[in-house]
Amino acid sequence: MKKDLLCILDLSQEEILHLLEWTLKLKDLQKRGIPHRPLVGKSLGLLFEKPSTRTRVSFQAGMYQLGGEVIFMSPSELQIGRGETISDTARVLSRYLDIIALRTYRHETIEEFATHASIPVINALSDRFHPCQVLADLVTIQEALGNWRGIKVVFVGDGNNVAASWANLAARVDIEVVLATPKGYEPPKEVMEAARREGAKVKMASEVQEAVKGAQVVYTDVWVSMGQDKEREERLRAFAPYQVTPQLMEMADSGAIFMHCLPAHRGEEVVNEVIDGPSSVVWDQAENRLHLQKALMLMLLEQI
């Protein structure tokens, strides 16, 4: 049976550990200039409703490095834009491609596509989850701190798709996650309930200075996600006390790292001094998307 990655809960702990191990192996091979091309003759589809820099380019470059081909599609260029259904599109694209990654507004679009596709489907970001991001972030934490077991990750700001994926990750690996968000901006109740049902050590907090105490990782993301531009003014007001500043970083564990999935809105959720400062690992985070997604494609195509 084909395997998809729509959210972190689709993976077992064993699969996550396998992915981490292969991510580091593939990174090492690439750094040493050793070609590894097991996907010659395979095609990856990228169907993106929203803009992307990291996800799009890292999937494309990653598939090329593994020997495969990539076909990029935006809905406006497909018959979806003229009313062909998601389910019919999924059935047809499954006849041409070997694997596909989708970036959509509604998470349900990816779920519907996956139901009707006969090839592995990857969530490359939806309004609800961003699983590839937090998997790659776990690799970055391992590299930066030497270990992620038992650490405290504090996500500061909006309870968005990235925050929800951290809640899910805590259900699969031994990390403590605190989501410090203003009231009314928590991840959806059903997402938090599902993560807790699966055993996640995840807490909510609204007092951000208190929340970051003892954190080894301080993480943030934009206050206005793609598709929320109409809410911009009220969001900027609600999130103003949640900016990551040097003073906030000082309240975390000594040696705490700063993480951001990017793109950053400098001067909003984080100031330059932090994102460009010595505790920031954001460029390693961006790089590890490439290596993690290569491992993910190999796993879903049953090559590892």
261 interacts with ligand CP by CB under 6 A: yes
Question: What DSSP string describes 59-105?
Answer: HHHHHHHTT-EEEEE-GGGSGGGGT--HHHHHHHHHHH-SEEEEE-S
Question: Under DSSP, is residue 292 helix (H, G, I), strand (E, B) or coil?
Answer: helix
Interface with ligand NVA (CB under 6 A), residue from 111, 221, 268, 269: 221
CA angle 189, 9, 107 (to 5 degrees): 60
- What does the alpha-carbon distance between residue 85 and residue 196 come to, in Å, rounded to a whole number? 34
Beta bridge partners of 176: 152, 201
Active-site choice (98, 137, 158, 221): 221
Helix (H) or strand (E) holding 46: strand 43-48
Interface with ligand NVA (CB under 6 A), residue from 160, 165, 168, 243: 160
Binding partner of residue 222 among ligand NVA, ligand CP, none, CB under 5 to 8 Å per kind? Answer: ligand NVA
Residue closer to ligand CP (CB basis): 73 or 304: 73
Binding partner of residue 221 among ligand NVA, ligand CP, none, CB under 5 to 8 Å per kind? Answer: ligand NVA
Region of 264 (left: φ > 0; alpha: ψ -120 to 50; beta: rest) is beta
Active-site choice (54, 103, 235, 260): 103
55 interacts with ligand CP by CB under 6 A: yes
Q: How far is the CB of 31 from ligand NVA (least distance, A)?
A: 25
Q: Which stretch binds ligand CP (CB under 6 A): 11-19, 28-36, 48-56, 235-243?
A: 48-56
Binding partner of residue 225 among ligand NVA, ligand CP, none, CB under 5 to 8 Å per kind? Answer: ligand NVA
Joined tokens for residue 129:
């989850």
Q: Which residues are catalytic?
A: 103, 130, 133, 221, 261, 289
* Contact set with ligand NVA (CB under 6 A): 125, 160-162, 221-222, 225-226, 261
